[in-house]
Amino acid sequence: MRDVDLTSAAMAKLTGTTELLDREWAPCRNACPVHADVRAYLEAAAAGDFVAAAEIIRRDIPFASICGRICHHPCEQNCRRADVEGAVAIREVKRFVVEGLGASAPVHKAILQNKAAVAIVGAGPAGLAAALDLAKLGYRPTVFEKFPVAGGIPRTAIPKYRLPADVVKQDVDWIAAHGVTIVTGVEIGKDKTIADLQKQFAAVLVTTGLAKSRTLPLPGADHPRVLPVLTFLEAVAFDQPLDIGKNVLVIGGGNVAVDAARSAVRLGARVQMMMLEDEQEMPAWWWEQHEAKDEGVTFIHRRGPVEIVVKGGKITGLKHRKVTRVFDEAKKFSPTYDDADQAVAACDAVILAIGQMPDLGFLAGCDVKPDANGRVLFGINKATHETAVAGVFAAGEIVTPPGSAVEACASGQRAAKAIDMFLSGKPIVLNDATPPYIGTIDAQTADKLIRCDRNPTPTEPADVRAKNWNEFEHTFPEPTALAEARRCMSCGSGAEVVVDKCAACQTCFRVCPFDIPKVTDVARIDSALCQACGLCMAACPANAIVPKGYEPHALRDRVKSAVGKLPAGKKVVAFINGFHADAASWTGKADPAPAGVAEIYLSSISRLGPAEILAAIEAGATGVLVVTEPAGADRYPTTMRKAHAYVTRVRTMLKEIGLNPDRAQLAVRTAANRAVVVAAERDCMNSLIR
């Protein structure tokens, strides 16, 4: 719980800033390697504003299309909804949003791109992310790529059933449009050297990643049907002919091994995966394991390769032995074997997918030398991305442990900051601290939330998808994307209490469906638990509760402006609970509302109190129509009952001053049906005299 005690005086000073009312980060954002504002883009998507959502996504995620397909989504792993009934399908919503905008994603170029030229070696996620940020800062980045196309591993090794080439191209083109020059087919260390680049560019960033497959010195490993995994996956990516036989054995239990296995299945082979680890130990994501098994891949756990058995020039099998342990007591990789337990698994091709390593070819002809030990190469200072040679930086998987595309992007973005500091003559100091973020949801609060199950990703049946290279997962249809975005609980958006106004009256506690406010000297609302429904704000007799992340008077201003735009004559403001509304209705692109009706869509009408309804009438509305979902169909349990009570209250208040009570009306209808909403608006309009 953040320790913010607001006062009226502090509130009064907030003009032009929302500092005290800034929402804390939700765990999804904190967990995202590039710290994408997940909550904000889900909220925009939930309101049907997919363009705004895409803008928010692209602000932090350079590979938005790619991440919409293949991101390992730590946001979802950390989604607080996981403790309710299932994480929000954040990646699928992102995929829907980004795909909808397609190639027309807006490009925000630097006004002046006249700063130093920077060379980047490798057009993968790290390199292109760095290039994009440098271009946005006004630098002139040129990215050199040894392959004939840019995109790195996502283009050259991730199979197209997971990530089609045109999806990668969309992100690459979008990055290039920011003023990033991409030169393909040029290999540094062969066609040019780093020294050459240093002469032409003010700084060089090496992001060559892990471009080489690790191999095993097994007897028989030199057979042409023993394929290093990247060689295999690259051939698949570039539609090159492959000779893998009918019975493939993949050695390895990581995600790349699974990619290889599932690709081999699509080439018509019977595929087994053999790995040292058991089911729990194997590093591949659990969902990848399931998908592979569904496609017919067999897993052989806890066996280590001994020899590739070659008879008559042909591979006939793989001799393997029992693994007695994979990790030692210190959890360090240190396998031991039982040589007494050996067997041969029949196969006619072997793919070695036991990991990747850097290809140090780029070092040829330059002063940068590799270190002797393991992964930390040529003296990289991980804190600053500097190598032993001034002006030469490194980022991505040659610096970090092996990871996902989004992690490489984060490393590239960090390196771009370092290079900017270096080229500005400043000391390189990178602060990786993130703002405070809220923790997990507690069980009592989770119990009180309305259950709303996660929508499954549309997936091709295993027997169909295993026979082709088409994408095996499909984009959500719009209603599903909306429903899923609306499952987001906007964590961290809770209410804040203005302490000098609070009378400790207990009203907030009494109206809260989740029992969150704790009233002692004043009310305190734990933002880690508050569901931001706004029922307490609408009810607080002291006006002491303010929402975080919103302008306190934003709704009234919006209503005023909407009423002002209506033609002379009868005017109706319709407050519509948008929880089930379609995007076109919410964004005003559907059948128009009847003449004279201004529609105000809200994520829930729980924040709407009598004051807001009366304010709309004061602003010039002849009538106000509140369209609420039937009881239980809103995201909060008591919305409909409260809406009914508040509209009734306003009707009494209107009657007291001699006005027609029908100027405030309630319609309990689902906004999912536009025709029904429009009919309610027409009824309201027709019922008003004048």
Partner 1 sequence: MIVADRKPMEEILAMLAPYKRVLVLACGGCVTVCVSGGEKQADLLASQLKLAAAAAGRADVQFDVDCITRQCDREFAAMLKKPLDQYDAVLSIACGVGVGFMSELAPQATVLPGLNTTSYDASTAKGVWQEYCGGCGDCLLAETGGICPIVRCSKGLTNGTCGGTKTGKCEVSKDMDCGWYLIFKKLQAAGKLELYTKVRPAKKWSKDRNGKGARRLTHKELMETEEFSK
C-alpha to C-alpha distance for 155 and 147, rounded to whole angstroms: 10
The answer to whether the beta carbons of residues 541 and 505 sit under 8 Å apart is yes
* 617 contributes a contact to partner 1 by CB under 8 A: yes
Nearer to partner 1, 601 or 646 (CB): 646
Among positions 541, 564, 569, 592, the unique one binding partner 1 when judged by CB under 8 A: 541
CA separation, residue 543 to residues 508, 546, 561, 594, 642 (Å):
11, 8, 23, 34, 17
**Binding piece for partner 1, criterion CB under 8 A, among 49-57, 394-402, 521-529, 538-546:** 538-546
Residue number with CB closer to partner 1 (560 or 580): 560
Q: Does 506 bind partner 1 (CB under 8 A)?
A: yes
Q: Which of 1, 221, 428, 504 binds partner 1 (CB under 8 A)?
A: 504
Tell me the closest approach of the beta carbon of residue 14 to partner 1, in angstroms: 17
Helix (H) or strand (E) segment spanning residue 519: strand 518-519
Size of the site for partner 1 (CB under 8 A): 25
Q: Which is nearer to partner 1, 200 or 652 (CB)?
A: 652
- Residue number, 589 or 655, with CB nearest to partner 1: 655
Does 499 help bind partner 1 (rule: CB under 8 A)? no
Of 28 and 540, CB closest to partner 1: 540
Bridge partners (DSSP) listed for residue 100? none
Residue 541 beta carbon to partner 1: minimum distance, rounded to whole angstroms: 4
Distances (CA, A) of 252 to 296, 351, 395: 17, 9, 26
Candidate ranges 151-159, 277-285, 353-361, 607-615; the one touching partner 1 (CB under 8 A): 607-615
d(CA 512, CA 138): 50
Beta strands in 200-300 (DSSP E): 203-206, 212-213, 226-228, 247-251, 270-274, 298-300
- Identify residue 377 by its one-letter amino acid code: L
By CB under 8 A, is residue 610 in contact with partner 1?
yes
Give the Cα separation of 484 and 90 in Å (integer): 8
Q: How far is the CB of 654 from partner 1 (least distance, A)?
A: 8
Distances (CA, A) of 324 to 272, 312, 329: 21, 33, 13
6 Cβ contact list (under 8 Å, min separation 6)? 20, 21, 496, 497, 498, 499, 546
Q: Does 654 bind partner 1 (CB under 8 A)?
A: yes
Residue 690, judged by CB atoms within 10 A of its CB (0-12, 13-18, 19+), counts as exposed
Backbone angles phi, psi at 309, to 5 degrees: -80, 120
Report the C-alpha gap between 561 and 156 in whole angstroms. 52
Interface residue with partner 1 among 500, 551, 662, 683 (CB under 8 A) is 500
Task: Kindly indicate which of the ranges 107-115, 216-224, 499-507, 672-680 contains the residues binding partner 1, using the contact rule CB under 8 A.
Answer: 499-507
| Residue 656 engages partner 1 in binding (rule: CB under 8 A) | yes
Cα 662 from chain centre? 46
Which distant-in-sequence residues (6+ apart) come within 8 Å of 428 by Cβ? 383, 384, 385, 386, 418, 421, 422
Smallest distance from partner 1 to CB 510, Å:
5
* Binding of partner 1 by 510 (CB under 8 A): yes
Q: Which of residues 140-199 bind partner 1 (CB under 8 A)?
A: none
Give the interface segment with partner 1, choosing from 98-106, 576-584, 586-594, 650-658 (CB under 8 A).
650-658
- Could you tell me the smallest distance in angstroms from the CB atom of residue 659 to partner 1? 6
Single out the segment in contact with partner 1 by CB under 8 A; choices: 50-58, 374-382, 539-547, 572-580. Answer: 539-547
Indicate which single residue of 52, 542, 668, 679 sits in contact with partner 1 (rule: CB under 8 A).
542
Least Å distance between CB 76 and partner 1? 38
Residue showing tokens 């319609």: 667
Pick from 658, 675, 689, 690: which binds partner 1 (CB under 8 A)? 658
The residue within the footprint of partner 1, chosen from 105, 614, 643, 680 (CB under 8 A), is: 614
By beta-carbon proximity to partner 1, the closer residue of 282 and 654 is: 654
Closest to partner 1 by CB, 436 or 541: 541
Structure tokens at 172: 């690459």
7 binds partner 1, rule: CB under 8 A: no
Cβ-based nearer residue to partner 1, 325 or 553: 553
689 is a site residue for partner 1 (CB under 8 A): no
Contacts of 186 (CB under 8 A, 6+ apart): 144, 145, 146, 192
557 binds partner 1 (CB under 8 A): no
Q: Is 432 exposed, middle or buried (0-12, 13-18, 19+ CB in 10 A)?
A: exposed
- 347 neighbors 317 (Cβ within 8 angstroms): yes
Q: How far apart are CA 591 and CA 581, in angstroms?
A: 13
| Selected binder of partner 1 within 292, 615, 685, 688 (CB under 8 A) | 615
Tokens 């098994």 label which residue?
293
Distance separating alpha carbons of residues 205 and 122, to the nearest angstrom: 9
Is the CB of 35 or the CB of 501 nearer to partner 1?
501
In the shown chain, the binding pattern of residues 355 to 394 toward partner 1, with x for contact by CB under 8 A and - for none, equals ----------------------------------------
Q: Which stretch binds partner 1 (CB under 8 A): 121-129, 458-466, 479-487, 609-617?
A: 609-617
| Sign of the dihedral through C-alpha 513, 519, 524, 526 | negative
For partner 1, give the closer residue by CB, 475 or 622: 622
Q: Cβ distance 297 to 272 under 8 Å?
A: yes
The Cα-based distances of 545 to 396, 502, 525, 536, 561 in angstroms read 46, 8, 9, 7, 24
For 462-485, the three-class secondary structure string (H helix, E strand, C coil) is: HHHHCCCCCCCECCCCHHHHHHHH
3 state DSSP class of 420:
helix
Q: Does 611 bind partner 1 (CB under 8 A)?
A: yes
Minimum distance from CB of 11 to partner 1 (Å)?
A: 13
Closer Cβ to partner 1, 322 or 649, answer by number: 649
Which 3 state secondary structure label does DSSP give 642?
Answer: helix
The interface region with partner 1, picked from 55-63, 243-251, 440-448, 608-616 by CB under 8 A, is 608-616
Task: Output 58 or 501, the one with its CB closest to partner 1.
Answer: 501
> Do 507 and 541 contact (CB within 8 A), yes or no?
yes
Helix (H), strand (E) at residue 557: helix 554-565
User: What's the closest the beta carbon of residue 502 comes to partner 1, in angstroms?
Assistant: 9
DSSP annotation of 538: H
Contact flag: residue 323 with partner 1 (CB under 8 A): no
User: Does 507 interact with partner 1 (rule: CB under 8 A)?
Assistant: yes
618 sits near partner 1 (criterion: CB under 8 A) = yes
Structure-token pair, residue 634: 């809103």
- Per CB under 8 A, which region of 131-139, 166-174, 383-391, 654-662 contacts partner 1? 654-662
Is 501 a residue that touches partner 1 (CB under 8 A)? yes
Out of 104, 390, 659, 686, which residue is the one contacting partner 1 (CB under 8 A)?
Answer: 659
| Residue 345, φ and ψ in degrees, nearest 5 | -100, 125
| Between 433 and 657, CB nearer to partner 1 | 657
CA nearest to 543, candidates 10, 8, 1, 12: 8
The residue ranges that bind partner 1 (CB under 8 A) are 500-501, 503-507, 510, 540-543, 609-611, 614-615, 617-618, 653-654, 656-659
